[in-house]
Amino acid sequence: MTEISRVVIPVDKSEASKIAVEQGSHIAKLLGVDVAIISIDDSQQFIASATLENKLKKEHELSLEEFKKTVESKEVNATTEIIVGLAPAQEIVKYVKDDDLIIMASHSKKGMDKFILGSVSEEVVRRVNCHVMILKPQLIEGK
């Protein structure tokens, strides 16, 4: 088994991502490794306005800074990166290394939504060579 050298936490603007960052930073501290917080910006396919694009980018950056502060409050080093791409799962797979641990929240799409939209976490698990921890939404939301 390869030793884990970094915890990678893919995030979006959901409450589940906040929990993933909190749990991920705790696990990184226990392992004695750094955290990489990544967010996939797939908005270019929908936005035609440069002004709106800049506004969204600034909000994205502020959100990542908050996540970074959460990690650093646990005395763990953190980096952040916004990755521009059309397919979040594909970008996550390209980003990680074999000795990473990915910690991410599942949005638990069901039925037709899962069929049409797919599941980022499911695709990531199938395609990466590293360890993956998926946080279940019902446990995150206390259901």
In a domain? residue 88: yes
Domain span including residue 52: 6-140
In a domain? residue 70: yes
In a domain? residue 17: yes
Count: domains in the chain: 1
Burial 32-45 (b: 16+ CB within 10 A, else e): ebebbbbbbbeeee
pLDDT truncated to tens, each residue of the chain (143 aa)?
579 999 999 999 888 899 999 999 999 999 999 999 999 987 766 666 777 778 878 888 999 999 999 999 999 999 999 998 888 999 999 999 999 999 998 865 555 444 433 488 889 999 999 999 998 766 555 54
CATH number for the domain spanning 101: value is: 3.40.50.620
In a domain? residue 1: no
